[in-house]
Structure 1
Amino acid sequence: MTPSGDASIHASAVLVGDRGILIRGPSGSGKSRLAFDLILAGRAGQIPAVTLIGDDRVRLTVANGRLVVQGVPELAGMIEIRGLGIRTIAFAAEGRVGLVIDLDAADAERLPPPQALKTQVSGLEIPRIPVGRGYAALPLVLAFLTTV
């Protein structure tokens, strides 16, 4: 990423209440699916309202000591729904990242050590959920958001 934050990364992001969730993982790992599942969970009242920030590519910048995620303008409000294609949905311009989800994470464990539940992004420590290949991410994210 350039210092100006002009470069984008391959990731998706949603805004849950006032917390941005950055969803990372290799192509085909389910980033778009998790983003849409979270939107549906928000609509069902399981968690606060969820709004798409960006799907497939997002920009990360540091502002006032916080990590901020923004969608890229050319994909604003677009999300891939496997089996339906690219769909349009309401979106937020940006959010402060309060959680990182790493899909297909090699270090995912049944009882992860505390250091696995944090990551460094642009020099900032952010809570993290590592999700192993083949495991459902949604229940882990819902548990994170609804338990202490």
Structure 2
Amino acid sequence: MNAPFVNVHGTAIVLGTTGLLITGPSGSGKSALALSCLSEVRHRGRFAALVADDRVDLTLENGRIVARCPAAIRGLIEIRGSGIAEVDTVSACVLDWAIMPVRAPFDPRLPPEEELQLEIGRNLPLLRLPVEGPLSPVDALAALLPQI
């Protein structure tokens, strides 16, 4: 990686052809959301892979944000309370969206319009994704982002 990079706290995954950066404070459920989405999308017969969990290296390449995993944690994801697991990974992805897991009660009920997550010289559109309740996170993502 020749381009300058920024290391951020988050989890990067690919669902189909869409790159997602799951962001939020420690303990907010980023890794659990990633594992849930990876599992459900694969069960639906689509491609899904982890790029990085907990720490993500971001570079700006040709106007797009690219996520990579630091070598020391490649292929590893935390299952809170259980430890570290190995999962299928890809070496990099272009990020299309930032996702923030949110829990009920949602306050406010609707997010600000065109909310953005600022990363390495370019903004990613930010979606707040409910992670509790009757709707699966993948069904919520499919409603919000039909390309998934």
The residue aligned with 2:144 is 144
Alpha-carbon offset, residue 135 of structure 1: 4.6
Runs of 4 or more consecutive aligned structure 1 residues displaced over 6 Å after TM superposition? none
- The change in CA–CA distance for 1:36 and 1:44 in structure 2 (over 3 A counts) is same
Alignment counterpart, residue 68 of structure 2, candidates 67, 70, 79: 70
Q: Aligned partners of 1:57, 1:119: CA distance in 2, in Å?
A: 16
CA contact (8 A) 1:23 1:100 kept: yes
Q: Aligned partners of 1:108, 1:22: CA distance in 2, in Å?
A: 22
Q: Aligned partners of 1:73, 1:95: CA distance in 2, in Å?
A: 15
Secondary structure, aligned partner of 1:114: coil
Q: Aligned partners of 1:97, 1:57: CA distance in 2, in Å?
A: 15
Structure 2 stretches lacking a partner, 5+ long = none
Q: Aligned partners of 2:107, 2:132: CA distance in 1, in Å?
A: 10
- The change in CA–CA distance for 1:89 and 1:97 in structure 2 (over 3 A counts) is same
Secondary structure, aligned partner of 2:68: strand
Give the alignment's TM-score, normalised by structure 2. 0.80
What is the aligned length? 141
CA contact (8 A) 1:26 1:103 kept: no
Alpha-carbon offset, residue 108 of structure 1: 6.0
Q: Aligned partners of 2:9, 2:118: CA distance in 1, in Å?
A: 17
The percentage of counterpart residues that share the same residue type is 32
Say whether 1:88 aligns with 2:86. yes
Q: Aligned partners of 1:27, 1:126: CA distance in 2, in Å?
A: 20
The amino acid of 1:141's aligned partner reads L
Q: Deviations over 1:52-102 (max 9, x none)?
A: 000111111100000011111100000112343101111011100001012
Give the alignment's TM-score, normalised by structure 1. 0.80
Q: Aligned partners of 2:72, 2:100: CA distance in 1, in Å?
A: 24
1:1-148 to structure 2, matched below 5 A, reads 4-5=4-5, 7-45=6-44, 48-104=46-102, 109-116=108-115, 118-131=116-129, 135=132, 138=137, 139-146=139-146
The amino acid of 1:15's aligned partner reads V
Q: Aligned partners of 1:58, 1:108: CA distance in 2, in Å?
A: 28
Alpha-carbon offset, residue 51 of structure 1: 0.1
